[in-house]
Amino acid sequence: MAASADILDVIQSMEDVLVMFWDVHQGWHVVNENSHLLFGRTNTVNALVELVDCVQEEDQETYQVFLRKLTAGMKHSTSFVPVQGDRLGVSVHMRTQDNRYTYHKVECFLKKDDSDAIVRMSVVVTELNAEEIYRLQLAQNITNDRTPAMFLRVADEIVRKNPDEKYALIQFDVVKFKAINEMYGEQFGDEMLNYFIESLNVICNKDQVFVRLTADVFMIMTAYESKQDILHFIQMLRENLQGYKGIAYRMVFGVSYVKDVKEPLRKYGDRAAMARQSIKNNALQYVEFYEENMTSSVLTAKYIEDHMEQALRKKEFVMYLQPKYSMQSGKMVGAEALVRWVQPDKGIVSPADFIPVFERNGFVTKLDYYIWDEASKTIRRWIDLGVNPLPISVNVSRVHLKNDRFIHVLNDLIDKYQIPKEYLEIEITETMDNHQIAQGIELLKNSGYRLLMDDFGSGYSSLNTLKDTRFDVIKIDRGFLQDFIGSERGQKIVEHTIQMTKAIGLDLVAEGVETKEQAAFLMNCGCDTAQGFYYARPMDVESFNRLLVA
């Protein structure tokens, strides 16, 4: 705790030490009469806060984190957060009376009441000697991306020395940190990460070790008693690490409980990473705890990412076509291009496994380009063979619509294969209003493409989207049909939706038609076109060609 009277007498006589006291009843006072020789400061109301003026600019944010944590733990604080342990400190560069910036240690010895609120403290500010600076820099090196192994050794030692404690690994990063580097420069990004490191030095106690793994990814090991302890700690991290220099960014945290101290900590670190990565695309969630089923899904995603480029080169991605039929004549009137991943040794990989992965990592753009090319090539082949071609609709992922490169790719394919534009239709899943996506849709429309709104009746699509739509065709979602067609009231909704869509001049396709009864109902409602298992399943191009010429 606080220094003894004998030690205090010695400290008070030293010119290179600043000593302060704080008491919940008496407030602040400086007890070293020579303290003004160190920083030019005299006895003030709050000497510790006034020292902010002496802290070097690059350490200002770190010192402010230290002050916020300290003041939040003091008795009667309006935002009380208990400080763990009996001391709290920070090491920063401070300007001395002779205008030198040197490392100083600010160390607070705390006395707390039964609620863990600080009621009294002794504060000693001293300049670090050469050995202390060396130790500090050595400790800081543990936080760089070259020494995660050292972190694991230190963390493992702590866990083994305290077998009765419960521990968890917390891994966090900044979502789209690369964009911050691109927008503000790499120097700013480095300063931001250094701020994280210095802040974690203040926030984490002696039993909470941390490491910077790679780039903006950090990991902390902490003891806990309940899940709520971890959530409170993460909330404190967010409050202290977000908003560096007023910049807005989102952080995500993954947590893994250390369930067996005999198992390697690296395993639990990997699990924390899985939990973190599982929510990077979820803007509504910032923390996730590892669940056992995450392992299989992450391994599947990794396998897919490891093999996707090779699969594209080897043409393992195959275009399938699902026919669209006129409900009145029963004849094929078009097709939708779908993709199947056919592996020579493992068979077909489900699109539900690989499409979400490709949408996250951006590979979907390459895959779309490939399928667009296959569809254009197929139309050209029909024309060359003298077969009356049918329009093929291809999916344009929303990621394409954020810039205009995609329109050049489509137009180049039209020119390359010399096919009329009306045979290459564009399917887009309608979303909530987005200016960039709206511009992309407008660009397609102005370029002469026929547009199909996919999955109408699901997600953000609603009747309101029909008012000013630039689409030519509405595709009723399979789920919408299944949810509504089973009741008399639901059938009325489907019927009126079809009639209203036709009344405003839009064509309509019903997806997912699986039974004779569904087909009869939709035809009676005036639906133009249908696709689904009742008519035909998706098939390879060769099988489709046999239907086309039959």
pLDDT category at 141 given cuts 50, 70, 90 is: low
- What was the pLDDT predicted at 431? 55
Q: For the chain, what's the residue count? A: 550
**Residue-averaged pLDDT of the chain:** 83
pLDDT band with cut points at 50, 70 and 90 for residue 16: low
Contact call for residues 175 and 280 (beta carbons, < 8 A): yes
Select from 276, 142, 161 the least CA-distant residue to 209.
Answer: 142
Note the pLDDT of residue 3: 42
Rg (alpha carbons) of the chain, rounded to whole number: 33
Distances (CA, A) of 290 to 222, 226, 303, 362, 478: 16, 15, 20, 25, 33
Assess contact for 417 and 376: CB atoms under 8 A: yes
* Per-residue pLDDT band at 285 (split at 50, 70, 90): confident
Q: For residue 529, is pLDDT > 60?
A: yes
Q: Is the pLDDT of residue 317 over 90?
A: yes
Whether residue 162 has pLDDT greater than 80: yes
In terms of pLDDT, which residue wins out, 42 or 278? 278
Between vectors from CA 271 to CA 266 and to CA 273, what angle results, nearest 5°?
95
Tally of CB atoms within 10 A around 133 = 14
Q: Is a pLDDT exceeding 50 seen at residue 408?
A: yes
Fill in the amino acid letter for 188.
F
The rounded distance, in Å, linking the Cα atoms of 232 and 225 is 12
pLDDT digits (tens, 9 = 90+) for 96-120: 777 778 888 888 889 999 888 999 9
H-assigned helices in 242-348 = 265-277, 293-313
State the DSSP H helix or E strand holding residue 324, giving kind and residue range, or none if neither. Answer: strand 317-326
What is the pLDDT, as a whole number, of residue 296?
66
pLDDT digit string, tens, across residues 438-466: 788 889 999 999 999 887 765 444 566 67
pLDDT at position 33: 54
The pLDDT score that the predictor gives to residue 8 is 44
Average pLDDT over residues 207-219: 84
Closest listed residue to residue 532, CA positions, set 469, 476, 452: 476
Nearest residue to 21 (alpha-carbon basis) of 47, 50, 51 = 47
Please tell me the distance from the alpha carbon of residue 126 to that of residue 38, in angstroms, as a whole number: 9
To the question of pTM greater than 0.85 for the whole model, the response is no
Alpha-carbon distance of 394 to 392, in angstroms, equals 6
pLDDT in tens, 335-393: 999 999 998 877 888 888 888 888 878 899 999 999 999 999 999 999 999 999 999 99
- Measured distance CA(251)–CA(276) in Å, rounded: 10
**pLDDT for 462:** 55
pLDDT of residue 242: 85
213-217 CB contacts, 8 Å cutoff, 24+ apart: 213/145, 213/148, 213/171, 214/145, 215/145, 215/173, 215/177, 216/173, 216/174, 216/177, 216/189, 217/171, 217/172, 217/173, 217/273
Tell me the C-alpha distance between 68 and 63, whole Å: 9
The answer, yes or no, to whether residue 191 has pLDDT greater than 90, is no
What are the contacts of 437-441 at 24+ separation with CB within 8 A? 437/398, 437/401, 437/402, 439/401, 440/400, 440/401, 440/402, 440/404, 440/406, 440/407, 441/401, 441/470, 441/471
Between 80 and 10, the higher pLDDT residue: 80
Whether 545 has a pLDDT exceeding 70, the answer reads yes
Q: Which residues contact 199 (CB under 8 A, 6 or more apart)?
A: 61, 62, 65, 240, 241
- What pLDDT shows up at residue 136? 65
Question: Quick one: pLDDT at residue 6?
Answer: 44
Mean pLDDT for 75-83 is 79
Domains and CATH numbers, the chain: 5-134 (3.30.450.20), 142-291 (3.30.70.270), 303-549 (3.20.20.450)
pLDDT of res. 44: 55
Cα(201)–Cα(136) distance, rounded to whole angstroms? 10
Give the pairing of strands 101-112 and 118-127: antiparallel
pLDDT attached to residue 11: 42
- Quote the CA–CA distance of 86 and 112 in Å, as a whole number: 8
Q: Is the pLDDT of residue 409 over 70?
A: yes
> pLDDT above 90 covers what percent of the chain?
32
Element (H, E) at 227: helix 227-241
Q: Per residue in 464-498, pLDDT tens?
A: 667 778 899 989 888 777 777 878 888 888 888 88
Q: Would you place residue 295 in the very low, low, confident or very high pLDDT band (cuts 50, 70, 90)?
A: low
